[in-house]
Structure 1
Amino acid sequence: MSDDGVSAPGHGYRKGPVLLRGQQIPTTTSDQRLLSGPGDAEWLRGDPWRVMRIQSEFVEGFGALAEVGPAVSVFGSARVPVDHPDYALGREVARLLVEAGYAVITGGGPGIMEAANRGALEAGGLSVGLGIELPFEQGMNDYVDLGISFRYFFARKTMFVKYSEGFVVLPGGFGTFDELFEALTLVQTHKVISFPIVLVGRDYWQGLIDWVGSAVMGRGMISTAELELLKVVDTAQEAVDLVLVRGAQLRAEEAAAAAATASAQQAAEGSTR
């Protein structure tokens, strides 16, 4: 993602597998309709069908991404033009990730998302885009090899987390912040393994880190260890190096856990003989 931007003219409005243009574009999104108050009894007839659509999004997403392999999600603003330094930074991050053996996952839109998909494609790696239905559709950028369009944010977010071994976050707005803090919360609460979360661009992110480290931690809202979940770097190479270090640690931990499980099973089998 991020969903900080505006529409890309001519791409139309994606509503699941359906493409709408002109006067066919609705005034509300699937998420808005799902989360709106019941109003009258109409929700009794509509919501059960929404459950079926939600289920289908998970099934299609899991099916499409099951064989992606090791991947890293790259987040950042949709509003960054092609000639901006952050666009070049996104391409560089993606290129280095591909050279390190990772697929690259983005929100599939313009700006930094496009830059990362472009960098992955140009480096010969797998470029994945997870699009979202928006009132002003951004459209899937032209550098996506494997693209999936979602109606619901929560289904899409699940795919980012499930199939990524790390998050690299470039400068962005509210959509980028949403993804950043959701990832942080999942790691903090041990809902997911402690994958790396790397912020690229110290000049952009340092104010946030300073505020979290003073106002938030100062009131005891988080601990020092939780603040350290956020890593801030200046270059693409530093970001990828952190992903690689943590990735190697996670694989070593998984291997040790698997070995311990196998040893315990062998011991249990031996005791029953």
Structure 2
Amino acid sequence: MDPDQHPRTDAVPAPERVRRGGQVLRGEAARRPTFDQLLLDARHPGDALPPAADLASTTSEAWRVLRIQAEFVEGFGTLAGIGPAVSVFGSARTPEDSPEYALAREVGARLAEAGFTVITGGGPGSMAAANRGAHEAGGESVGLGIELPFEAGLNEWVHVGVDFRYFFARKVMFLKYAQGFVVLPGGFGTLDELFEALTLVQTGTVTRFPVVLVDSSFWGPVVDWIRGTLVERGMISPGDPEIFHVVETAEEAVDCVLRVCGPGAP
């Protein structure tokens, strides 16, 4: 595909069922653009500008602001009482019979046993595994879902779930209600959350916030690039790589979190 070509929602089959905020859509209705697409993509590349009379009015944009406000109100109201929590990130594509799934499940269980609520994106793969581990260990399991063209809703292990229309509102909840991040192998979404967390710690926006990367064989090339290229070219300070920790096991990950923000931590 040409890198400038923007995929259209009508170029893919409609999923059987999707959740979008408070909506449940099936069949052709599921083809509708997501709320993030409506907010950020006013038109597709190559499309002609519509006549001025057909442009969305400022009134519709004002209503969108109210919808965004409602997302924050819903998130804050739902999550305010969850107690100490850790956000766990990882791939939605992790197979259930893989070592990565078992690792995520153990991370969720150990965090729950340590007294933390486990927060994930609420989807499948490593997210479901972490929620499952927390559930099986008798802990609290939270899922923060997002409307995407192929997402089918929150996984079955979520105790408290909130579906978001907008990525930025959802990302605020991951940070506001967590005392740290445990980051498992994942793709673009996982990297997005990781680097946002690192930026917030680097700039002092959040403090006493452990960021733990699990599985050095996966994260090694990223860490080498950060410690090598970024530091060597002066893009970050020599001490900035100390913001995060790299471990191999679920036990080490939870121990790292506890050292920073557990009972008796400095």
Q: Which runs of 5+ in 2 are unaligned?
A: 1-12, 44-48
Pairing 1:154-193 to 2, within 5 Å after superposition: 154-193=168-207
Q: How many angstroms apart in 1 are the aligned matches of 2:152 and 2:193?
A: 18
Cα separation, 2, equivalents of 1:43 and 1:87: 47
Q: Distance in 2 between matches of 1:143 and 1:248?
A: 25
Residue of structure 2 in register with 1:134 after alignment: 148
**What SS class does the counterpart of residue 77 from structure 1 fall into?**
coil
Which residue of 2 is the match for residue 87 of structure 1?
Answer: 101
For structure 1, which runs of at least 5 residues remain unmatched after alignment? Answer: 1-6, 254-273
Give the percent of matched residue pairs that are identical in Structure 1 and Structure 2.
59
TM-score (norm 2): 0.88
Within the candidate set 151, 162, 175, 2:165 is matched to 151
Given candidates 131, 139, 151, the residue that maps to 1:125 is 139
| Distance (whole Å) between structure 1 residues aligned to residue 213 and residue 171 of structure 2 | 19
Match of 1:198 in 2: 212
CA distance in 1, matches of 2:57, 2:259: 49
- Paired with 1:244 and 1:86, the residues of 2 have a C-alpha distance of 22
Q: Which amino acid in 2 is paired with 1:212?
A: I
Give the CA deviation at 1:26.
Answer: 3.1
Asked which structure has the greater RCO (Cα within 8 Å, sep 6+), the reply is 1
Asked if the contact 1:110/1:138 (under 8 Å) is kept, the reply is: no
CA contact 2:19–2:152 (8 Å) conserved in 1: no
Matches within 5 A, 1:1-273: 10=16, 12-37=17-42, 41-248=55-262
How far the C-alpha of 1:252 sits from its partner, in A, is: 5.7
Tell me the alpha carbon deviations over residues 68-106 of structure 1, each in whole angstroms, 9 at most, x when there is no partner: 000000000000111000000001011110111100000
Could you say which structure has the higher helix fraction?
1
Q: 2-side partners of 1:252 and 1:213: how far apart?
A: 27
For the residues of structure 2 that align with 1:27 and 1:18, how far apart are their CA atoms? 12
Equivalent pair of 2:118/2:130 in contact (CA under 8 Å)? yes
Task: Report the 3-state secondary structure (helix = DSSP H, G, I; strand = E; otherwise coil) of the residue aligned with 1:28.
Answer: coil
1: CA distance between counterparts of 2:57 and 2:154?
A: 31
Amino acid at match of 1:219: R
Q: SS in structure 1 opposite 2:123?
A: coil
Please give the alpha-carbon distance, in whole angstroms, between the structure 1 residues aligned to 2:67 and 2:148: 17
